[in-house]
Structure 1
């Protein structure tokens, strides 16, 4: 037993050492000339204001806490709509619900940080059937609460990747919700110092089968990580490390350059929404869709013709579904990508 313990410690230390010593490629952005493709729109049978949304197969899952039913599930092929879930403390009710993307078609996770609970549901007929309940690792033992996870995506079985934003820290963690333990957390190379705030380092993540991409809001930078059941391993960086802390600390947020607003991981392709303008000019920008392979090569750059904040991708049909989160509407924009 003693020998086994030593072997585990040795293996763990070697893994961490390899992580820290590996030289990470930094790839300068070398974009292809922008292509322009036409935008079309799809009228929806509900008001589209997605706080969280994802596409699983042909099912669009949309969280909107302003609606009487906070979850809308819309089949893009058949146009069938399921609306479910109330705000409150009763059955099928949640306090400040959030949405977790599951890997299996027809499954959805709904969680509440305040209640420290995530319920897994399966869509069936016109409703949802509860299949499992998870709880998060306790972060504050004094108050018995988890971190305030703003985003949650399933990696595999009971392994999930959660993102939390606190005033002084940004955390991206691999969680085992069966054991209620943190398996690994990203040690960001760019992070706030002891006296800084986390705002200039805000980012979005997206997870695929064996890799993850991070896109930074105020840094012209994408990071690509390999994922396993043991944790994260940074593989490459696209862009630079130029910060905008000075403007943020002077409360001049509107003058900061807003770089990436969203990122999606396809099977072997990264799709990132790029703005590249000051925050105060966002409403006038024509957003771009940057498409990369896993080696950091820019495959295409597409002019989207208007401001787009968020996307989901149907890689099977080569369609990008897009929205402007600042607008409440019953239309969903979409773009038909050209065959690669």
Structure 2
């Protein structure tokens, strides 16, 4: 990983027969260790999905009595819990947490039954169900939608959904008021039938018109503009090759884990880099890094050496604060990272 001046390499390479990719080299103007602190949460929670909007952190926990948890920022004070496990009203079996545009809105969704339940934070700090929407049917003969694993609200009833049906990932632009699929992302990388989708797993994040994908087993970040007509590839950072051969041969523990999370706020893209084999990820000697890029150009601004293992993260752009979670640490503990000089990351 090179560190030094701003991004200097702009190279075009064919991604498909009728499309060119703009590739940017990974270079950073600043390398630093951020100020690090830790914050104990008031009760045990296991972050599975978590999003920050405005001054609220929303966490989905699949292990407790409630699926949804809301904390106020920056003090991480509990606001409320919602979405209990069960089959009754306001109850779920295995929902996903959607990322909404407003921090006082939250949404849980399930494919079976087909529903997107939208909640709003009320004056008594309780979540009130305000609307239920449905996904487009994927298997029409059985009236079953795709089982989306991630969901972001783009505007009003327009959402981005990520699914992994049966072989390769799909990203759709959904109009939930109809409901119908408006557009589907055309991936530049196409996996082989033998290897399947495993080497093409990625983390994703959307905000303010930008969708970022960071691949787990490919040293590669893709950034897309999200337009009313669909997705347009803007640029690619890095140019790694999928580790298909190791996957096919069953040597998964030798595959290099590159990125485990990505955050986009429309202005910056933050990618959580590991750079070690899957076998090492099961130990405690990993020291992660966070690559910070300018979203409009892909220019590498800052490389944060975290000094510890971080498996997932959530970015609070308003307070210039990064929250990190490690599967090896106490589940009631979040790490907090801030730039040593906030001016350096602007």
2-structure distance, mates of 1:284, 1:290: 20
Is the 8 Å Cα contact of residues 95 and 115 (structure 1) preserved in structure 2?
no
Equivalent position SS for 1:86: strand
Deviations 1:25-53 (A, max 9, x none): 11122245631123201111121211111
Q: 1:121 to 1:20 in 2, by over 3 A?
A: farther
Map 1:42-57 → 2, pairs under 5 A = 42-57=39-54
Alignment partner, residue 68 of structure 1: 65
1-structure distance, mates of 2:161, 2:17: 23
Alignment partner, residue 25 of structure 1: 22
Deviation at 1:326, TM superposition (A): 5.3
1-structure distance, mates of 2:225, 2:88: 41
Residue 36 of structure 2 is aligned to residue 39 of structure 1: yes
Alignment partner, residue 318 of structure 1: 320
2-structure distance, mates of 1:327, 1:98: 24
Is the 8 Å Cα contact of residues 152 and 161 (structure 1) preserved in structure 2?
yes
Equivalent position SS for 1:46: coil
Alignment partner, residue 114 of structure 2: 116
Equivalent position SS for 1:270: strand
Alignment partner, residue 249 of structure 1: 248
Deviations 1:206-228 (A, max 9, x none): 11111111110000000111111
Deviation at 1:239, TM superposition (A): 0.4
2-structure distance, mates of 1:210, 1:32: 25
1-structure distance, mates of 2:266, 2:187: 24
Residue 93 of structure 2 is aligned to residue 95 of structure 1: yes
Deviation at 1:167, TM superposition (A): 4.3
Is the 8 Å Cα contact of residues 227 and 233 (structure 1) preserved in structure 2?
yes
Q: How many residues matched?
A: 322
Equivalent position SS for 1:246: helix
Alignment partner, residue 141 of structure 1: 140
1-structure distance, mates of 2:232, 2:17: 10
Residue 286 of structure 2 is aligned to residue 290 of structure 1: no
After TM superposition, where is structure 1 displaced by more than 2 Å over at least 4 residues in a row? Answer: 19-24, 30-34, 193-196, 325-328
Deviation at 1:192, TM superposition (A): 1.7
| Structure-1-length-normalised TM-score | 0.90
Alignment partner, residue 209 of structure 2: 210
Deviations 1:271-302 (A, max 9, x none): 11000110111242110000011211110100
1-structure distance, mates of 2:191, 2:248: 12
Deviation at 1:328, TM superposition (A): 5.0
Give unpaired runs (5+ residues) of structure 1: 1-18
Deviations 1:207-252 (A, max 9, x none): 1111111110000000111111211000111101411001111221
Is the 8 Å Cα contact of residues 167 and 197 (structure 1) preserved in structure 2?
no
1-structure distance, mates of 2:131, 2:330: 33
Stretch of structure 1 that moved more, 31-40 or 157-166: 31-40
Residue 85 of structure 2 is aligned to residue 84 of structure 1: no
2-structure distance, mates of 1:150, 1:327: 25
2-structure distance, mates of 1:234, 1:20: 15
Q: What RMSD in Å do the two structures reach over aligned CA positions?
A: 1.7
1-structure distance, mates of 2:81, 2:102: 20
1-structure distance, mates of 2:331, 2:78: 18
Equivalent position SS for 2:137: coil
Equivalent position SS for 2:280: helix
Equivalent position SS for 1:61: strand
Deviation at 1:143, TM superposition (A): 2.4
Deviation at 1:142, TM superposition (A): 2.9
| Structure-2-length-normalised TM-score | 0.89
Deviation at 1:20, TM superposition (A): 7.3
1-structure distance, mates of 2:127, 2:117: 11
1-structure distance, mates of 2:288, 2:84: 35
Deviation at 1:77, TM superposition (A): 3.9
Give unpaired runs (5+ residues) of structure 2: 1-15
Is the 8 Å Cα contact of residues 45 and 64 (structure 2) preserved in structure 1?
no
Q: 1:58 to 1:201 in 2, by over 3 A?
A: same
